[in-house]
Amino acid sequence: MDTQQNVRNKAELELEEVLKIIKNLANQYPAKHNSGIATILQTLGRFYSLDNSKYDKAKKYYLEALKKFEEEENFLNSIMVLEDLASLYNTRGIDVSDIMEGIISFYRELVKDNRETYLSRLALSLLDYGFYLKNKPQQEKIESLLVESLEYYRLLVKSNSEKYNLNLARVLNNLANFHLLNPDNLLKARDEYRESLNIYKELSKKEPNIFKKDLGLSLNNLILVDLKFDESLAKQDYDEAYMIRKSLAEENPRLYGFDYAHTLLKGVVFFNEPIRNIEEASKYLDLYDDNYLDIQFLRKEINRLREEGIDNSKLL
């Protein structure tokens, strides 16, 4: 039986083979097959971008695809490759502001002539750009991007809620994360998290397995905000998040154990859940490397709780 890596290796060989075939065909029939080369190059870029160790290959194929599309004056596909490049560069902390500004300007022009087709692409680009800037000192810019994206997704949901509700929930969640940084905006953050949560609940009714993780994240985000206004509601958030994340962690400890451990610690600190839960959290955190997300902070919190007892002013 093939392992996941064997499947990836097989797919890589097949994609490279397809590229060779199309290049040969393009040499014989350039009018028919030149555009196919750019598409396969972009596909290879996306394939390699899924593996951090293949960053250079992904970048190489994206740049080759971009050059091909630009030679063909296929500007829409060129923009799509630039979107892929921005996502790739962002994984390495490379500034993508110029790329994103160009993409957004391009979609703004297209929206003027064909709002129905391109408004969703503009909304998504604004959302992505706001996400890329989340760790940059550009607070006004981030809020402006996310608020504009939210405005467009609200319009899009009116015409097709099934298609756009998920991205509406995403932009609400990102905007809430941003507003949470400012104590004066806690009410805004709470309302945005709550609206996002309600959307995920509706989505989960149809496809619970797909949206279970998002539902757990939204509930977990709400805990600290609701604690400022309504402790009983915060406890409800915790209980729901606990059940969802416990279930996910039991299904796939390596994928979801970190999230479950985080929620367990919140329960101990804020809701007087059994102190033994920190040992269960520690067991799940042991599955991860020291550089995984903010795992070192959580491990320090566990050690502090063991040594000092509970102090709910420190776990934020």
Whether 41 contacts 18, CB under 8 Å: no
pTM for the model stands at 0.82
Q: What is the pLDDT of residue 38?
A: 87
Q: What is the mean pLDDT of residues 10-35?
A: 65
Dihedral Cα 264, 268, 273, 278, nearest 10 deg: 60
The domain limits of the chain are 1-94
Distance separating alpha carbons of residues 175 and 85, to the nearest angstrom? 24
**Planar angle of CA 15, 17, 21, nearest 5 degrees:** 115
Whether 303 contacts 268, CB under 8 Å: no
Q: At what angle do helices 161-179 and 139-159 cross, to 10 degrees?
A: 160
Q: What is the pLDDT of residue 72?
A: 86
Residues 6+ apart with CB under 8 A from 279: none
Distance separating alpha carbons of residues 252 and 256, to the nearest angstrom? 6
Q: What is the pLDDT of residue 316?
A: 44
Q: What is the pLDDT of residue 76?
A: 92
Q: What is the mean pLDDT of residues 208-213?
A: 91
Q: What is the pLDDT of residue 1?
A: 42
Q: What is the pLDDT of residue 209?
A: 87
* pLDDT tens-digit map of 126-160: 999 999 998 787 889 999 999 999 999 999 999 99
- Give the rounded percent of residues in the chain with a pLDDT score beyond 90: 69
Whether 63 has a pLDDT exceeding 80, the answer reads yes
The better pLDDT of the pair 316, 8 is held by: 8
The better pLDDT of the pair 101, 7 is held by: 101
Alpha-carbon dihedral sign for residues 133, 58, 13, 31:
positive
Which DSSP symbol is given to 310?
A: -
* pLDDT tens-digit map of 79-124: 999 999 999 999 898 999 999 999 999 999 999 999 999 999 999 9
Whether 314 has a pLDDT exceeding 50, the answer reads no
